[in-house]
Amino acid sequence: MASELELAAARRLLAAAGSLVVLTGAGISAESGIPTFRGPGGLWRNFRPEALATPEAFARDPLTVWEWYLWRRGLIDAAEPNAGHRALVTLEQRYERFTLITQNVDGLHDRAGSRRILKVHGDLWHTRCTGCAYQRKDRALAYPALPPPCPECGAPLRPGVVWFGESLPRIVWAEAERAVAQADLLLVVGTSAQVYPAAGLIDLARCAIEVNPAATPFSSRVAVALAGGAGEILPALV
């Protein structure tokens, strides 16, 4: 667990920074009870998520893919933002120049009150068409038919997330790279720092603080590495 000396050092860096970027991963959501992407999960224990989260899987069996995503929506809908999410809202209010970059698709940052968010892996509460430009915010937990048809062209709708084999949204990714490169400080929260290209953002930072229960490949390279969960460490920082 992070020591008081380490926390004090991190607080000094936060106080001295004129601009802040936060990068979050699955760890902060796990503290709200959201299973990590590769974690075990009841109904889907016989399915590999990696085999469902691909364009090829959707083309082959859109019904099963949509059932899995609706199951995930149900889990997330029953969860609540935790103290770590709320602490990041407090930090956002303190900095005129602030950006929250998240790898998570669950929308818990939005529900906590964060506003300046870049979602590099998309949004589970967003639906888009496979045949035309139609897209919408979508909090449905069930549909009359699966896959749901596009109201504009009739083609199947799909979850608005980035699947394996797909590129990250170009404009969002460019904004994320620019934000990290220009910020005084990067706060990395709840990520193993092993999923690229998102983990590559850490290399762009002038100075970084890490918050994670376990050491990562970047722990020895950041200014301060705080061992612990986001729900405990972030409130202690703010």
Catalytic (active-site) positions: 121
Q: Is the peptide bond before 49 cis (omega within 30 degrees of 0)?
A: no
What is the torsional sign of CA 74, 229, 174, 221? negative
Q: What is the CA radius of gyration of the chain?
A: 18
Q: Are 20 and 205 in contact (CB under 8 A)?
A: no
**Pairwise CA distance, residues 104 & 26, whole Å:** 6
Q: Which two tokens stand for residue 156?
A: 């199947």
Question: Could you give the CA distance from residue 118 to residue 206 in angstroms, rounded to a whole number?
Answer: 20
